[in-house]
Structures are given as structure tokens and as C-alpha cells.
Amino acid sequence: MCFTTIRCAFIKPFKQHEAISMTESSSDKLNQLYSEMLVLLQKEEKMRQETEKLLAKAKKMIDPRNEFNKWLKSSEGKDWKKKQFEYQNGKCASCGETLRFADAEVHHVLSLKEGGKTANKPENFKLLHPNCNRKIGSKFVNLD
């Protein structure tokens, strides 16, 4: 059976009803349904946007980078940095050169990108020069 035959089989039954025209009430009903559909679509879009905002806010709240930055500014984080600086004898864990405490940056050995929240543990941190930290970036480098 060819495409034309199939198409004609579906069209022929409708041609018998050509004399039926849309009444005004059915036209009004169609317009009402269309209006209701538009309202629902607008509500759906608004809900989607609100959901995206809430998800972004939640993500920001649980973002490992934000958690790390808060910890680093806390008294616990500051104490850790002092102790780690002494433990590393004031040397950069990457290049081994002398490191000024004020310049020392906390580096994640296992990156936040790879480890997420599990990378935010003091045993995963080393102190580096700012340039050494940027040079390594999120690559894994054994710093022991």
C-alpha cells in the first residue's frame, strides 16, 4: 500500500463532514480552553524559574568551596594554618622554597572538583606559594 492510499484512507472520512461548521459556543469553548492553557503555561514557567532559584541557593549553601572558605576564616582553620606552617617548617609543599605565612595558600591535594565535600579535610591540605598553587590548579600532585 502506498503512502497516498494511506493518506486518502484517513482523509476521506473527514470529507463527509465538510458541511458541519463550528458553532459560536464551540468557538468560545475553544478560546476559553486556549486561555486556560496559556495561564497554566505561565504558571509552569514561573514555578520552573522559582525552582531554579531555590536550587541555585541550595547549591551555594552546600558548595564545598563555600564550606572550605568559611572553615579557613574560622578560628579552627586559622589554628590549622599556623600548625601546618610550623609542620612544613615554613616551606612550600610544592617547590620546597621558603614560604611567608601571610602569602601561604591552602591547597587541596585531592581537588574539590574531584573529591567534593570529602576533599575538605585538613589531612588533604598543604600550604603552597600562591604561584605554585595556581600552577598545580586542580591536578593531582603528590606533595609528600
Which tens digits make up the pLDDT trace of 114-132?
Answer: 888 889 999 999 999 999 9
pLDDT tens readout for residues 61-118: 678 888 999 999 999 999 999 999 999 999 999 999 999 999 999 999 999 888 888 8
Q: Using alpha carbons, select from 49, 39, 141 the residue that is nearest to residue 92.
A: 141
pLDDT recorded at residue 11: 47
Contact residues for 112 (Cβ-Cβ < 8 A; gap 6+): 64, 65, 68, 119, 120, 138
Grid cell, residue 94, equals 610544592
The span from the CA of 112 to the CA of 120, in Å, is: 7
140 vs 114, residue with greater confidence: 114
Q: What is the pTM of this model?
A: 0.57
Q: At 108, is the secondary structure helix, strand, or coil?
A: strand
Using only C-alpha atoms, what is the Rg of the chain?
33
Q: Distance between alpha carbon 31 and the CA centroid of its chain, in Å? A: 40
CA distances from 58 to 19, 66, 78, 112, 132 (A): 59, 12, 27, 18, 32
Domains and their CATH numbers in the chain: 62-136 (3.40.1800.10)
Residue 7 has pLDDT above 50, yes or no: no
The span from the CA of 113 to the CA of 132, in Å, is: 18
pLDDT recorded at residue 23: 64
Determine what percent of the chain is predicted with pLDDT higher than 70: 81
pLDDT recorded at residue 22: 56
